[in-house]
Amino acid sequence: MMNEVEQDRQQVIKVEHLTKRFGHFTAVDNISFEVYKGEIFGFLGANGAGKTTAMKMLCGLSKPTSGKGSVAGYNIEKESESVKANIGYMSQKFSLYEDLKVWENFRLFGGIYGVNDKEIGPRTDEMLAQLGFEKEKNSLVSSLPLGWKQKLAFSVAIFHEPKIVFLDEPTGGVDPVTRRQFWELIYKASDRGITVFVTTHYMDEAEYCNRVSIMVDGRIDALDSPRNLKSIYNAANMNEVFIHLAGGSNRKAD
Amino acid sequence: MYSVTADNLEISYGTVKALRGVSFQVSRGEMFGLIGPDGAGKTSLFRILTTLLLADAGSATVDGFDVVKDYKEIRGRVGYMPGKFSLYQDLSVEENLEFFATLFNTTIKENYHLIKDIYRHIEPFKTRKAGALSGGMKQKLALSCALIHKPSVLFLDEPTTGVDPVSRKEFWEMLKRLKQQNITIIVSTPYMDEAIICDRIALINEGKFMQIETPQNIISAFGKKLFAVTGDNMSRLLNDVREMDIVSSAFAFGDEHHVTLRNPMLDHTDIEAGLLEKGCSNIFVKEINAGIEDCYMALSQ
Amino acid sequence: MKQFLVFVRKEFYHIFRDVRTVMILLLMPVVQIILFGFALSSEVNNVKIAIFDPSKDHATQLITERISASKYFKVVKMISDPDDVESLFKSGKANIVLLYSEKFHENLIHTGHAQIQLITDGTEPNTANAVTRYATNIIMASQKELLQSQVPSVTRPAITSEIIIIPEVKLLYNPQMKSSYNFVPGVMGLILMLICAMMTSISIVREKEVGTMEVLLVSPMRPIYIIISKAVPYFVLSFVNLTTILLLAVFVLGVPISGSLFWLIFISLIFILVALSIGLLISTLVDTQVAAMLISGMVFMMPTMVLSGMIYPVENMPWILRLISNFIPAKWYIIAVKKLMIQGLSIDSAFLELGVLFTMAMVFILISLKMFKKRLA
């Protein structure tokens, strides 16, 4: 039943035989998959399995060695500028400018992504109200706790209503309470039709995804809904699935 | 004798109070976990205990030595892995290890047995630069470096953040083995599945310990009935559950939502009935035992 | 001791594995010396000179001889008509024309006045200025010679004073006005300051930034050894640079080391110490590499360039800047190097500079050791 629904849905990411080599090292090895509109897609893998490299290609930051892909309807190799205009991006390492105030970050990224000047003000207020952060509008980002920053960074990443938002370990080092609040934001974005492409090392978060892929040594070794993966590998939770698949990796030192 | 003691530690940075009176004791060979959100004061506590910061008030000892007076004594005895510790990226694995061994007046050979289990995972790559290692490998190397001088107390500040589940599992296997060698371990982590491995855990928030207990005691003190709810549209389901008057709390937990109720007399049939009324489909509710994460969520409310 | 050696080795690894930085550090002195030595040189060689000599007597012949013997001038033409001057300049055949007055020697002896006119191209004032001064120097030297040969045979001794023509410039130690003499000490001061202060502070702050400083502090190694082992590699590197600069100065630019090499190196080492301790001081004040770079760049390098006397003479500055310049270590170092290296004076004459630098070194080392925390805050 799920599959029928998916086929009706619009593909926002389509990747075919995507490969990236650095010299003799194949970081991403012939991967193919599709992601549908509004889906929360978990992109899992051990450190060094090739997730970041794959994500960079999808965001138009790195050219594939071979294979092709489209994101938001644009070719990732030839139309990388259009790809960038239609996606949002957030990572654990880079989120917001610490030395700017909260609203200044919104204005900056709104401006970068071409949001109408008149809209930036009201939309900022609206987003802060949703987060319950109205009081922090004029605070410097550096003065906020990590969990708040991550939530703000996510709001900034979807401020321009991108078709897809890429999240690279958005909740690394964040405590369980804040992580849940973060995921509720992800749900809301997904309900609005924004596709969420997320990497995480928390396997309970993998369960929140509609579908997950697990990368091992540059390949996608499994791709399905968490429920199906658990039944295929006869596992009680995604952690067991992951350890089953990634435990045999040959590439752990990379 | 306790391996680590803290008595009413306080520290503030400007107007921000990072620690407001923290006291605890850790026995020799115990694994003590610090659990709390970012900014709760975990790193400040580590720095005070490793003699890197002076507390504004209170006192602490490590191995019976005072952290202020006998700091030199302590510095030779403890192993420390700071949160942002990243080794020397431009030195090879072996050079890093050798450097830290010499720094602590020892050699790799002398204490090889201590790090053997960990180091053999990375030994095949010993000529590789530390900067070219994966997250999991880096953590193993950092742990080896922190252990090479046979510390009696090991301080680990979020050692597994950003590390994949497989490496995380291996890392904690190693910690368990170190514990068997009677090394005291104080470790902070945002992962609740790791917290449960500790002998005792301290839940810390806004500079205060909310609770210091064994994981089992924390769990058994949960005190409420807990229900797991699943259904077709999990995101909508969560909202629907929260809108119900009888529900006290509801959180997403992997593929289920964990729900507690206001009235202890009610049970899963009441939740089911309420959700059916809201038009949810494929609903399945069952009573479950609380886990450590449920307790953390409840205490943080 | 083993700890210390291993630590120093580690520092060398850091330096040599960062190939780009090493190249910059080692090549910077070479580039600077060559830049200053050739591109910015105000020296002029092989100036084309034309001479109009209606007298053709003993005196004019002597002067002309001296001029053509000099490596700065090349006599291109002896002209017979002063009206040709303009065409000479227009065609670019001459850069300077020298015109003797008539009956030059006779006038010189009898009236004490003899005229020489020097015509140069005023569109290039710097060159014109330099060229005129070269010529004047040669003329004056010749005059002296003429006088000495004259005096014994002359009946009226008073004549000597009358003959002397305006001594325009008097260059005792750099008679050929070689500009390299001025900037070699300056480049030495600048490079040593840059490498020691900036690189030392950056290397310490980097440890803070990546979090290794925490582990170093928790180790039994004493903080003072951490500092010293951080400084050693840059001390060595500075010494290498000092050698490079001196070799280049002597063999490429032809600047002689007239004084004692020992004392020159000795005072350089003291100056390196000052710079190192400034680097340490910076590292205790800031927490990021960028801040360390900016502070050493802006707060220490700029004043060093401007106020040390390297580019602008300190004597011509307003009193407040002169006062400030006394606190710039490079100023004292540059003065001392000029005395020891170029003027060839003995160390006695540089005692003041040596003393100031030594005091500065002690003060900075004491402050920075005091400031270096054995804890994080």
The arrangement of strands across the sheet holding B153-157 comes to: B78-81, B153-157, B184-188, B31-35, B200-205, B208-213
**Between chains, do C18 and B103 touch, taking CB under 8 Å as contact?**
no
Exposure b/e, A67-92, CB count within 10 A at least 16 = b: bebbbbebebbebbebbbbbbbbbbb
Place of tokens 């055949």: C93
Give the nearest chain B residue to C5 (CA atoms): B102
Measured between CB atoms, which of B53, B85, B99 is closest to C10? B99
Interval A245-251 mean pLDDT: 73
- DSSP per-residue string spanning C226-264: HHHHHHHHHHHHHHHHHHHHHHHHHHTS-----S-HHHH
**Between chains, do C10 and B88 touch, taking CB under 8 Å as contact?**
yes
- The pairing of strands B226-230 and B16-27 is unpaired
Question: φ and ψ at A157, to 5 degrees?
Answer: -65, -30
Residue A102 in domain: no
Chain B residue numbers with beta carbons less than 8 Å from the beta carbon of C221 are: 103
Chain B residue numbers with beta carbons less than 8 Å from the beta carbon of A199 are: none
List all chains that touch chain A, counting a touch as 3 or more CB pairs closer than 8 Å.
B
Among C114, C132, C163, the domain-final residue is: C163
The predicted structure's pLDDT at residue C44: 66
More confident residue, C370 or A158: A158
- The pairing of strands B31-35 and B78-81 is unpaired
User: Which of C269, C278, C262 lies closest to C238 in space, CA to CA?
Assistant: C269
CB contact at 8 A, C217 and C374? yes
Give the nearest chain A residue to B194 (CA atoms): A202
Please write the tens of the pLDDT for every residue from A22-79. 988 899 999 999 999 999 999 999 888 889 899 999 998 889 999 999 999 999 999 9
- Cα–Cα distances (Å) from A47 to A170, A201, B137, B266, in that order, read 15, 9, 9, 45
Please write the tens of the pLDDT for every residue from C158-170. 333 334 444 333 3
Alpha carbons B171 and B147: distance in angstroms, whole number: 13
Residue A51 in domain: yes
- The pairing of strands C116-120 and C96-100 is antiparallel
| C10 plus C133 within the same structural domain | no
Decide if pLDDT at C129 tops 80: no
Alpha carbons A147 and A140: distance in angstroms, whole number: 15
User: Which of B219, B228, B229, B152 lies closest to B192 in space, CA to CA?
Assistant: B219
Residue A114 in domain: no
| C57 plus C36 within the same structural domain | no
Within C146-242, strands assigned E span none
Residue C331 in domain: yes
More confident residue, A144 or C127: A144
Measured between CB atoms, which of A202, A204, A253 is closest to B134? A253
Chain C residue numbers with beta carbons less than 8 Å from the beta carbon of B51 are: 217-218, 375
The predicted structure's pLDDT at residue C49: 87
The predicted structure's pLDDT at residue A252: 46
Decide if pLDDT at A103 tops 50: yes
Q: In this structure, what CATH number is given to the domain that contains residue A240?
A: 3.40.50.300
Three-state DSSP state, B91: coil
Measured between CB atoms, which of B38, B134, B300 is closest to A48? B134
CB atoms within 10 A of CB C372: 16
Q: Please name each of the domains of chain B with its CATH number.
A: 2-214 (3.40.50.300), 222-300 (3.30.70.100)
Mean pLDDT of chain A: 88
Q: Give me the domain span that covers residue C67.
A: 47-163
Residue C208 in domain: yes
Give the nearest chain B residue to A50 (CA atoms): B134
**Between chains, do B90 and C17 touch, taking CB under 8 Å as contact?**
yes
Decide if pLDDT at C301 tops 80: no
CB contact at 8 A, B130 and B98? no
Give the nearest chain A residue to B128 (CA atoms): A253
The predicted structure's pLDDT at residue A43: 95
Q: In this structure, what CATH number is given to the domain that contains residue C97?
A: 3.40.1710.10
The predicted structure's pLDDT at residue C149: 67
The predicted structure's pLDDT at residue C61: 86
| C107 plus C26 within the same structural domain | no
Alpha carbons C326 and C324: distance in angstroms, whole number: 5
Put simply, the chain B residues between 236 and 275 with a CB less than 8 A from any chain A CB are 238, 251-255
- The pairing of strands B153-157 and B184-188 is parallel
The predicted structure's pLDDT at residue B152: 93
CB contact at 8 A, A192 and B242? no
The predicted structure's pLDDT at residue A94: 63
Single-letter amino acid code for the residue at A97? Y
Among C138, C163, C188, the domain-final residue is: C163
Using a 10 angstrom Cβ sphere, with 0-12 exposed, 13-18 middle and 19 or more buried, the burial of residue B120 is exposed
Please write the tens of the pLDDT for every residue from B131-186. 888 778 888 899 899 889 889 999 999 998 888 888 888 889 889 988 898 999 99
Give me the helix-helix angle, C2-17 and B93-103, nearest 10°.
150
Decide if pLDDT at A235 tops 50: yes
Rg, Å, chain A Cα set: 18
The predicted structure's pLDDT at residue C109: 74
Residue A138 in domain: no
For residue B110, give how far its alpha carbon lies from the nearest alpha carbon of chain C (Å): 16
Q: Give me the domain span that covers residue A187.
A: 2-86+162-246
Alpha carbons C40 and C37: distance in angstroms, whole number: 6
- DSSP per-residue string spanning B261-289: ES-TT--HHHHHHHHHHTT--S-EEEEE-
Please write the tens of the pLDDT for every residue from C267-282. 999 999 999 999 988 9
Three-state SS for B100-167 is: HHHHCCCCCCCCHHHHHHHHHHHHHHCCCEHHHCCHHHHHHHHHHHHHCCCCCEEEEECCCCCCCHHH
User: Which of B166, B175, B189 lies closest to B79 in space, CA to CA?
Assistant: B175
Residue C168 in domain: no
Residue C326 in domain: yes
Residue C171 in domain: no
Q: What is the largest CA-CA distance in chain A?
A: 54
The predicted structure's pLDDT at residue C68: 85
Put simply, the chain B residues between 155 and 194 with a CB less than 8 A from any chain A CB are 158, 161-169, 190-193
CA B68, distance to chain mean position in Å, is 26
| C156 plus C53 within the same structural domain | yes
Return the residue in B166, B253, B299 with the most chain A beta carbons within 10 A, the one to mutate for interface testing.
B166
**Between chains, do B135 and A48 touch, taking CB under 8 Å as contact?**
yes
Exposure b/e, A219-240, CB count within 10 A at least 16 = b: bbbbbbbbeebbeeeebebbbb
- Cα–Cα distances (Å) from C147 to B266, C114, C134, C167, C317, in that order, read 127, 13, 20, 15, 40
Please write the tens of the pLDDT for every residue from B85-103. 668 989 999 999 999 999 8
Query: Does B58 touch chain A if contact means CB atoms closer than 8 Å?
Result: no
Query: Does B16 touch chain A if contact means CB atoms closer than 8 Å?
Result: no
pLDDT-derived band at A1, boundaries 50, 70, 90: very low
For residue A168, give how far its alpha carbon lies from the nearest alpha carbon of chain B (Å): 11
More confident residue, B70 or C128: B70
Decide if pLDDT at C47 tops 60: yes
The predicted structure's pLDDT at residue B95: 93
Measured between CB atoms, which of B35, B235, B297 is closest to A190? B235
Domain count of the fold of chain C: 2
The predicted structure's pLDDT at residue B184: 95
Left (φ > 0), alpha (ψ -120 to 50) or beta: where does C101 sit? Answer: beta
| C85 plus C15 within the same structural domain | no
| C123 plus C183 within the same structural domain | no
Among A144-153, C49-58, C162-171, C218-227, the minimum mean pLDDT is found in C162-171
The predicted structure's pLDDT at residue C126: 62
| C223 plus C205 within the same structural domain | yes
User: C-alpha angle with apex C181: C175 to C187, nearest 5 degrees?
Assistant: 170
User: Which of C210, C209, C213, C215 lies closest to C227 in space, CA to CA?
Assistant: C213
Q: What percentage of residues in chain C have a pLDDT greater than 70? A: 84
**Between chains, do B50 and C219 touch, taking CB under 8 Å as contact?**
no
The predicted structure's pLDDT at residue C160: 38
Decide if pLDDT at B291 tops 70: yes
Residue A115 in domain: no
More confident residue, C157 or C140: C140
**What is the token pair recorded at B178?**
């170190």
| C78 plus C139 within the same structural domain | yes
For residue C287, give how far its alpha carbon lies from the nearest alpha carbon of chain B (Å): 15
The predicted structure's pLDDT at residue A249: 67
Decide if pLDDT at C339 tops 60: yes
Interval B66-82 mean pLDDT: 91
Alpha carbons B133 and B122: distance in angstroms, whole number: 9
Domain count of the fold of chain A: 1
| C192 plus C336 within the same structural domain | yes
Among A169-173, B289-293, C238-242, the minimum mean pLDDT is found in A169-173
Question: φ and ψ at B89, to 5 degrees?
Answer: -65, -25
User: C-alpha angle with apex B37: B34 to B38, nearest 5 degrees?
Assistant: 105
| C286 plus C224 within the same structural domain | yes
Q: Is the dihedral of CA C124, C129, C131, C135 positive or negative?
A: positive
Return the residue in A5, A22, A169, A201 with the most chain B beta carbons within 10 A, the one to mutate for interface testing.
A201
Alpha carbons C283 and C289: distance in angstroms, whole number: 9
Among C104, C130, C163, the domain-final residue is: C163
| C153 plus C210 within the same structural domain | no
Mean pLDDT of chain C: 80
pTM: 0.79
**Between chains, do A180 and B297 touch, taking CB under 8 Å as contact?**
yes
Query: Does A183 touch chain B if contact means CB atoms closer than 8 Å?
Result: yes
Return the residue in C215, C230, C288 with the most chain B beta carbons within 10 A, the one to mutate for interface testing.
C215
Alpha carbons B180 and A94: distance in angstroms, whole number: 40
Measured between CB atoms, which of B76, B82, B89 is closest to C215? B82
Interval C214-219 mean pLDDT: 85
Q: Is chain B adjacent to chain C, meaning 3+ CB pairs within 8 angstroms? A: yes
User: C-alpha angle with apex C22: C20 to C26, nearest 5 degrees?
Assistant: 120
Residue C172 in domain: no
